[in-house]
Amino acid sequence: MSTASARRLNAQNARSGAPRGAGPVPPLVRDRDCYVAGVAGGLATHLGWSPLLVRVIFLVTGLVGAGVLLYLWLWAFTPWAEPTDAAPRVTRRAPVAWILVALAIGGAATAIGQALTTYEVRVGGAVPWIPTVVVTVLLAVAAGAWTSFIDRRDPERGRRTEVAVRLVATGVLTVLAVVLLTGPSAAQSPTVVFLAALFVVIGIGLLYAPSLVTLWNDLTTERVARIRDEQRSAIAAHLHDSVLQTLALIQNRAGASSEAGRLARAQERELRSWLFEGDSPADSDLATDLRDFASALELDYPVHIEVVAVGSSTERASGELAAAAREAMLNAARHAGGDVSVYIEGAATAVDVFVRDRGPGFDVASVASDRLGVRESIIGRMRRAGGRGTVGPGAGGVGTEVHLRFETGEAARG
């Protein structure tokens, strides 16, 4: 105890960074590194008393009754301390469930002893082992509740402890019930013994009730998620039928390069990505990034960019390949306009990106040397990154096609 309280004092001093009494009163919070619930420790820190003293006071007043209420009150209403590096999560050092189980075992042993040794039952009087049985059952149920609601979330205890605690408690209660039913008391006062045994059996049932509650909570959570999903897809279907159709029609009637068509296309793309790509956070893989970039370009230039992605690639949006591809798309939008196709193919060993436009096309050699766009941003960038970039005329000599290739086979970059 003394080392523990010394540790606590050290921790407290380290936290406040000042000798005790000098700074403001530390707030009333429950320390994450605690024995049971951190109430006594937190109160001691707050009042500047010794934790041992606080614990003794709680124990003494707890025997009278008021201390228990105060403890529960503080437990319910005092927040946990902010997580720190030293105590990132709640650590309970006392094995509360096992202590409760041990107490239940003690109670059961006492009750069994009383039941076996009590031959005379006073007529109309209390059966001496009844209070012990009640306390035993309550202790066992408390152990079960503690282990399911509190220990289960504790990675150091978890499900294994839960199952073990419950098994031991069940065993204790079963033995108690069997002894009561077969002991000498059963012959003398069968009704009382039957009721007592029934109470014990109900206690066994209550032991498992917390896991039912947890199961029920899980079910409810799942159902809520499903309802939300269904609602979402209903909204998606509705928007799909109404807004997307209208946007498609606007594009159709307004023409590919008109302002209205452009806005409608950008909106359509945005809405569609929301509808069909789910609410998973947009991971910035290459295809997603280029799609986003395409919709941004469509807002700024009279261009229609179709992005088709095949296969899966580990290429990130932050990579050089993505930067070069964005540059190529920007060039196509700026100088060619109209329809631009972007094709991404991610294989196990290489990633290919094709950007193809149907603009006037241009000859790399004829571009003035002070224009760095193509030479540096695309070809040079790919070469420096260990890939390859080629710029050439599109099929049939129409437009321009940029081909970027990046081998990922041998040297996968971190």
Partner 1 sequence: MAEQITVVVVDDHSIFRSGLRADLDDSVLVVGEADDVDSAIAVITAAAPTVVLLDVHLPGGTDAASSGGAEVIRRTAALVPGTRFLALSVSDSAEDVVGVIRAGARGYITKGSSGSDVSRAVHAVAGGDAVFSPRLAGFVLDAFGAAGGEIASTDEELDRLSAREQEVMRLIARGYAYKEVAATLFISTKTVETHVSSVLRKLQLSSRHELTAWATARKLL
Residues that bind partner 1 (CB under 8 A): 229-230, 233, 236-237, 240-241, 244-249, 251-253, 256, 265, 268, 272, 276, 278, 304, 306, 308-312, 339-341, 343, 345-348, 354, 356, 394-396, 398, 401
Residue 347 amino acid letter: A
User: How far apart are CB 350 and partner 1 at their closest, in Å?
Assistant: 10
Residue by residue, DSSP assigns 262-282 as HHHHHHHHHHHHHHHSTTS--
Rounded least distance, CB 383 to partner 1, Å:
23
Least distance in angstroms from the C-beta of 290 to partner 1:
13
Distances (CA, A) of 43 to 29, 66, 347: 8, 16, 61
Supply the minimum distance, in Å, between the C-beta of residue 222 and partner 1. 14
Handedness of CA 63, 66, 68, 70 (dihedral sign): negative
Q: Which residues contact 321 (CB under 8 A, 6 or more apart)?
A: 286, 315, 351, 353, 382, 385, 387, 404, 406
Query: In angstroms, what is the minimal distance from the CB of 218 to partner 1?
Result: 20
Give the shortest CB-320-to-partner 1 separation in angstroms.
Answer: 21
Q: Residue 230, exposed/middle/buried by CB under 10 A (0-12, 13-18, 19+)?
A: exposed
**Residue number with CB closer to partner 1 (299 or 398):** 398
Report the C-alpha dihedral over residues 43, 45, 48, 54, rounded to 10 degrees: 40
Residue 24 vs 396, nearer CB to partner 1: 396
Nearer to partner 1, 109 or 398 (CB): 398
DSSP 8-state symbol, 346? E
Q: In terms of CB distance, is 211 or 273 closer to partner 1?
A: 273
| Angle (deg, nearest 10), helices 66-77 and 51-64 | 120
Nearest residue (CB) to partner 1, 323 versus 398: 398
**Whose Cβ is closer to partner 1: residue 10's or residue 312's?**
312
